[in-house]
Amino acid sequence: MSGIKFTDDHEWVISDDKGEALIGITEYAQEQLGELVFIELPALGDEVTQGDACAVIESVKSASDLHSPVSGEVIEVNEDLVADPGIVNEDAMGAGWFIKIKLTDESELDTLMNEDQYLESLD
């Protein structure tokens, strides 16, 4: 896996050399949402577009959308989150990933923040 990238909306994406990418929400985002109680994931084969909502996240505080940081086809979903949304609260940047996509435009990664830029944006 190559470097992690971030959005202003607190999503992360990690791409690999096969043109695939894991997507999830940041530690900061899960802290702001609080205890997650429901997650609705897209279907396999769905097309996601950079910046568009691709999953629904509900917490005890509010409902929110996961916006895809990059465009592509959904090739895997983290089914564990459907049964136990709290996994995101426990490990947002690891076991709490939401979807894996096949990238359609790897250059979109260049529009995202690196980790240092993201951490600075939180200050």
Strand order in the sheet with 53-59: 36-40, 53-59, 63-67
State the number of CA atoms in the 13 A half-sphere of 97 facing the CB: 17
Cα–Cα distances (Å) from 66 to 56, 69, 92, 123, in that order, read 6, 9, 13, 22
pLDDT at residue 2, as a whole number:
53
Distance CA(1)–CA(15), nearest Å, equals 6
Structure tokens at 70: 């990059």
Domains defined for the chain, CATH in brackets: 4-106 (2.40.50.100)
Distance CA(87)–CA(44), nearest Å, equals 21
pLDDT at residue 123, as a whole number:
80
CB 51 within 8 A of CB 68: yes
Structure tokens at 58: 């509900």
DSSP 33: H
pLDDT in tens, the chain (123 residues): 458 999 999 999 999 999 999 999 999 999 999 999 999 999 999 999 999 999 999 999 899 999 999 999 999 999 999 999 999 999 999 999 999 999 999 999 999 999 999 999 998
Distance CA(8)–CA(16), nearest Å, equals 22
CB 15 within 8 A of CB 103: yes
